[in-house]
Amino acid sequence: MAYQPVFPLALQPAASALLGAMTASALAPAQQGFRVTVQGESLSAPARLYCSPSELRALIEQAAGDSRTLALCLGTRHWDGHVREECLRRLISTDRPWVAPFFVQLLGEYVIEIVEVIAEAVRLATVQDLCGFARENPKFMALTRQRATSYWDCYFRRRFGSLQTYPAIAVLNAIDVMARSQ
């Protein structure tokens, strides 16, 4: 299914401009990824973006403020794992609530280096936005946990002898504990 962009009202102008520019340089059309709720508003993201890494980087550098942050979020959906990690690292200290689903989505993916970046960031930063997001999107959180468990079982069981030591599960557990305690 083709990607149907949906963003909170305040982000719609920036999202339309960014997605228009990314679509113009797309190597393939984006497919629908996840759809979640952030502070009562819907947000959807593509499964993957298939635009040139250099063109994405140029779009990020040309943007400012929330447009740049949104471009980095969309960059976490890029087909190249190195680009996803690069964008994630630049987003780590961002305190916008609509960034949370992009972090959580990466916990349910297979690139351990990206999962480890998030695990380290969660130790250093507040998880307030992640907790609010988790309470608002329990099905998305459960699906992310299922995916993380599957990747641990398939690829990382030897490296992380217990599911609870796998960084994605550790982060999801920390979010759950904090979300329940608030």
Residues 25 and 65 in one domain: yes
pLDDT digits (tens, 9 = 90+) for 16-66: 888 888 876 677 888 999 999 999 999 999 999 998 999 999 999 999 999
Residue 1's pLDDT band (cuts 50, 70, 90): confident
Taking the model in full, what pTM does it have? 0.93
Q: What's the domain count of the chain?
A: 2
Cβ proximity of 126 and 177 under 8 Å: no
Please say which residue of 53, 74, 91 terminates a domain: 91
Token pair of 130, please?
A: 């992640």
Write the single-letter amino acid at 169.
I
Residue 95's pLDDT band (cuts 50, 70, 90): confident
Residues 86 and 102 in one domain: no
Please say which residue of 69, 91, 113 terminates a domain: 91
Domain limits at 122?
98-182
Please say which residue of 91, 116, 145 terminates a domain: 91
